Structure 1
Amino acid sequence: MTDPGSTPERGSLARLHPIDGMLLRSTHLERIQGYAASLSAALGRAGGHGVVSGYRVRLDPVKREIAVDPGLAVDGQGRPLLLEATATVDLSGLSPGPADLRLVVATRADVPFGQEEIYGELCGDPVGAPAPQHAYVSESVRVEVRPVTVGSVDAADLTLRSQVANAWFERERQEARPWISVDDATPLTARDWADPPAEPRPAEVPVALLLWTSKGWVLDTWTVRRERVDPPARRGWESRLGLRPWNVFLAQLLQFEDMLSDAMRRAAPRDATDEYVLGRLRTAHSRLSRGRSASLRDVTEAMDAMEALQSTQLRDLGIVELPPAGFLPLVPGRGSAEQQVSRLFGGSATLRFRRCPADAVPEAVEEARHRDRIVLSDAGTAVEILIPRACGREPGWVGFRRLAECEYDEPSDLVDVYLCTVGDVSAFVTSFLADPELPPVEWAMLREVAYPPGGWALPEGQEEIESWRSLTGEMAAVALTPSAGRLPLAAGRAAMLLDPFGRTPRGAMPDYHARVWDELDRDVIVLAKPVEIG
């Protein structure tokens, strides 16, 4: 008896089975080559698609062309895209409109070469000589520039690059269809957790993006380029689980760093430092103090540099959104790390500064890779600034990451607070502590308050009771607890509820008491106040 199994069928990985006496023809040799190519492609797909090395794109705005450096990439079908010489693409024939986008991709291109004479075919027509044919095919790479859209974006030059990157990253996230998402109400129990993610198989590899502005083309590499890092299964499951794949996080981080560097080089002059401004102003002051006229150039250049120092904010540089974590540059002479970073954000986020060993910063940045991106229009976003210790001097960079502001629902002791109005508070308390029955008075439920388990800190809900108590004069509190072992805790909570901040006159004690009441299932605090007369 054999174990049950399926019947195998013929697939694309089919090799030649040589037999003595077989007449080898071109179809047999093609089968040998086809088997090797299919095997190579299957192994290539197993490692995922993307750029392996090289493929840097350079824009020449004068010649209106791009040049792509040699490199190696693998497309979604597992085929290697080996670019062995610089490829150039002429952009002068394009007629772009406002906010026009063009995607630069590398794709497979077969180039036949090598003329060979054909001396006749078996069983073919012997009359006439066959025309020469190409005997070889070079598996080359073609770089193409294609139009692409990312949805609605503002065509303003200043923020166009940041807007396009944000829209591209968000579309990429949505196309991954994450299951763990607050935007999808599908129950987790309705998911097919045994169904593996689909394997994307694009025939080309994006290497750059071109954006048209009023000043010409702008090159952006990392909005669309993805490195070949993880196999499809890992990236697919990470996307489904709401995680950010490593090559996507890497692209978002590098896109921001590249865009920030370009913007800062254009915006801030090299001489915009605190020392430079003070030096120019001191020169002008020295001239005036000696009765001489100050140099207008000294004052003007100092004011220009001061304005550059104060206005270099991320939003002024055209950046409206940041990756969940990354790095920020610091410039010597422009203030402390805290001052420079605060100027960059300009109040567009809540900053928390922390100094730590330099080797801890990259690790902390990587830990935040799965968090949401930082939107600068939301001033409430908490961002942690990680300042590396640099042996008594200011470092040349800092790390940043979005803080995970989780609200922890810790277990708590719930206590019911009641109010009763009595004629004589002292007599009521004495009777209440001695009588096994509840006193015949009106009880009003104030509210339920929560204490830390086994603790007697200020409870949640204290503010409402405290604001009410301040209007009613003196009161007494009696804590009821189902267990004798909790009497000290119950008494302490009652005292703190009456007088949480020690407002009782010096030498006096809050009027609080405690007793066991075994019919209860949790603690109760009764506040007694005298009847108001008049």
Structure 2
Amino acid sequence: MTGMIEEPGSTPGPTVPGDVTRLNPKDGLFLRGEHLDAIQSYARELAQMIGTGAGSGVVYGYTVSLDGENLRVEPGLAIDPQGRPLRSNAEAVLQLKDPPALDSSGNGFLVVEVGPAEWPSGHEKVYGEVCGDGCSGSGSAIQPWIGEGITVELVARSLEGLSTASSVLRRNRLASLYFDQERRNGHPWLQPDGGQPVIPVTGWNWNAGTPAAQPAHVPIAALLAVDGKWVLDVWTARRDMDGPPAKNVWQNRLSMRPWSIFMAQVLQFQAQLAAHAAELAQLDFDAEAFKTFEPLRELSLRLKLTRTQEAALGKDFLEKVAKAAKALPLTAVKTGKSLRAMGFEELPPAGYLPIPKAAPNVESAVRLLLGNRLDYRFRSCSADYVAVAVDESQHRDRIPLTEAKHQPEVDILVPQPPADGPDYGWVAFVHRSCCEVKEIPPAAEPVDVYFRRFEGGPGQLPTIYGNQKLEGDPAAELLYPPSDWAFPGNNYKVVNLFTDFLTSQALEPAQYNVYMVGLAAESRLPLIAVRASLLAASLDSGLLAPVFSFTRAAGQREAIVIAVEQIRGN
């Protein structure tokens, strides 16, 4: 619809006002202050509506630093939630001698916020109202200009659980609590909220629009009192501009993490880690200790043991090897401590770690810094792959360093150095996606596997197995896709068991014949025969065992019998 229409009435209809009024100039209108104000207000309303649609946050600048008892904020530009630009062209300074009162429970902290400020300026005479005052002027004066800028404020906040953190963990605890509160404030639809059960996905209004932005200042840092001193943490509170608000609302509702929050979590970790640069530079490893333990580490990481070898070495020995390999980084450290000891109890979904030059290998340095309560997977890759992997972790959970039972799965990405360049000196960590290693198993059909030694050749097989009940427990169980002959892929277990069976029977190659016997209901005999044939091929690439199939005894599961006959004369 274009062009002018009649003014909307008081009753509901297809046309309603939008709280925006502009001047309708006509010849003969005597321009007064209210008309100029309407022009200015209309321009501001349009600008702020566009600003609201573009999103809120810091655009550039607003670097915050502590200088003794002074908090310094460099010039910058930000957009508040209602689209108002907040720009400064000079440094702002706040004194911290008399800050706002904090929560007496010990859970309090301060948020540094930027808000709008304006003030009148200039000087000009007032010439009176038209037809009301004489043209000679009234002698009074006005300030015809209004300057705009920003004001920096300290706002007291509180988060339950902050008081229970020790001094060394207090900064990281604040970040963890703040990020979690931010997630809950986004009202996720697909996760429990406040301990309440998840509402069914059909219970939400998926057609609803996003809510209007509420007036608020723009946070640019957090201040925390630790042992009587202020600690500045920028990225706990600061969020850089990240696009339209509707995007962030829907990402929060769908339990995603907006880019600005993800980057804030990564940068908060990197900034806190950089504060310990001196400690990280002092890490020193004991080379002699590594010479002692290195064989154990190599054994634990690289040796592939069969069931027979594991049984021969013994469970206790293997557990000692694994324990020694894990303890190696801590045992072989002369000076240095873990990130936990430096004040970290939780990490972002991804980040970067320095590798001290004194470290004998990447694994040892990572295990020292991150501890032994993570399930590691070390991967060598190109540097561009690291960037992609870090970016893909945006919506994954944060990584606790204190979980003992269910250890988080973490990939350590080691960038390959250029052919003609030095090592990068860092590695990346990313919270591994569970979908990479865990799959929901489809419905499966179990097939029992038995090993039997017999005499009499294939002619005796119908008598021994035809509709007979097998005694004893099966040696293994294979799970096949329903009504499918495709091999399930866990044949390594049967292969090892078959080797053990031959060893227990003192049989060597060329001393035996193998027959595969499939037992199933009559209608499924062709299927069990194919399954038995493929199983035979998996036991030995050169094994072409004859396959027989017989009706299974009533009430018993399908089974495959690997029947071994000793060749006479041996």
Q: For the superposition of Structure 1 and Structure 2, which TM-score range results when normalised by the shorter chain?
A: 0.7 to 0.9
Match of 2:295 in 1: none
2:92 and 2:348 map into 1 onto residues whose CA distance is 32
The alignment status of 1:171 with 2:198, answered yes or no, reads: no
Match of 2:153 in 1: 144
> Where in structure 2 are there 5+ consecutive unaligned residues?
1-11, 290-330, 506-514, 564-570
TM-score, normalising length from structure 2? 0.72
**Deviations 1:463-505 (Å, cap 9, x if unpaired)?**
9xx9xx99xx999964226356535433347879xxx989xxx
Query: Does the 8 Å contact 2:111/2:219 carry over to 1?
Result: yes
Match of 2:336 in 1: 311
Which of these residues, 101, 121, 124, is aligned with residue 116 of structure 1? 124
Which of these residues, 38, 42, 50, is aligned with residue 45 of structure 2? 38
Which of these residues, 157, 162, 180, is aligned with residue 172 of structure 2? 162
Q: Which secondary structure state, in structure 2, belongs to the residue aligned with residue 11 of structure 1? A: coil
Matches within 5 A, 1:61-460: 61=68, 64-94=69-99, 100-124=108-132, 129=138, 131-153=140-162, 154-181=164-191, 184-265=197-278, 267-268=279-280, 270=281, 272-273=283-284, 310-379=335-404, 380-391=407-418, 393-406=422-435, 407-411=438-442, 413-415=444-446, 417=448, 430-431=462-463, 450-451=479-480, 453-456=484-487
**Deviations 1:492-533 (Å, cap 9, x if unpaired)?**
47879xxx989xxxxx9999842378x99x98227799xxxx
1:163 and 1:308 map into 2 onto residues whose CA distance is 27
1:275 and 1:376 map into 2 onto residues whose CA distance is 25
> Where in structure 1 are there 5+ consecutive unaligned residues?
279-305, 503-507, 530-534
**Deviations 1:11-63 (Å, cap 9, x if unpaired)?**
222211101101111111110000000000000001111000000011112xx
**Deviations 1:113-155 (Å, cap 9, x if unpaired)?**
1122211113546699364222111121000111111222125
1:458 and 1:19 map into 2 onto residues whose CA distance is 84
The 1:368/1:27 distance shift into structure 2, 3 A limit, reads: same
**Deviations 1:221-251 (Å, cap 9, x if unpaired)?**
0001000122111111111111111111000
Instruction: Name whichever of 66-75 and 441-450 sits farther off.
Output: 441-450
Query: Does the 8 Å contact 1:47/1:232 carry over to 2?
Result: yes
Which of these residues, 532, 538, 542, is aligned with residue 491 of structure 1? 532
1:189 and 1:211 map into 2 onto residues whose CA distance is 42
Deviation at 1:326, TM superposition (A): 1.2
Q: Which secondary structure state, in structure 2, belongs to the residue aligned with residue 395 of structure 1? A: coil
**Deviations 1:156-176 (Å, cap 9, x if unpaired)?**
210000000000000011111
The alignment status of 1:479 with 2:486, answered yes or no, reads: no
Query: Does the 8 Å contact 1:309/1:334 carry over to 2?
Result: no
Match of 2:292 in 1: none
Deviation at 1:7, TM superposition (A): 3.0
Q: Which secondary structure state, in structure 1, belongs to the residue aligned with residue 16 of structure 2? A: coil
Match of 1:285 in 2: none
Q: Which secondary structure state, in structure 1, belongs to the residue aligned with residue 356 of structure 2? A: coil
Query: Does the 8 Å contact 2:377/2:410 carry over to 1?
Result: yes
RMSD of the alignment, in Å?
Answer: 4.2
Deviation at 1:85, TM superposition (A): 0.6
TM-score, normalising length from structure 1? 0.77
Partner AA of 2:558 in structure 1: V
1:514 and 1:321 map into 2 onto residues whose CA distance is 58
Partner AA of 2:97 in structure 1: S
Deviation at 1:181, TM superposition (A): 2.2
Query: Does the 8 Å contact 1:209/1:220 carry over to 2?
Result: yes
Deviation at 1:179, TM superposition (A): 1.6
Partner AA of 1:145 in structure 2: L
The 1:277/1:247 distance shift into structure 2, 3 A limit, reads: farther
Q: Which secondary structure state, in structure 2, belongs to the residue aligned with residue 489 of structure 1? A: helix
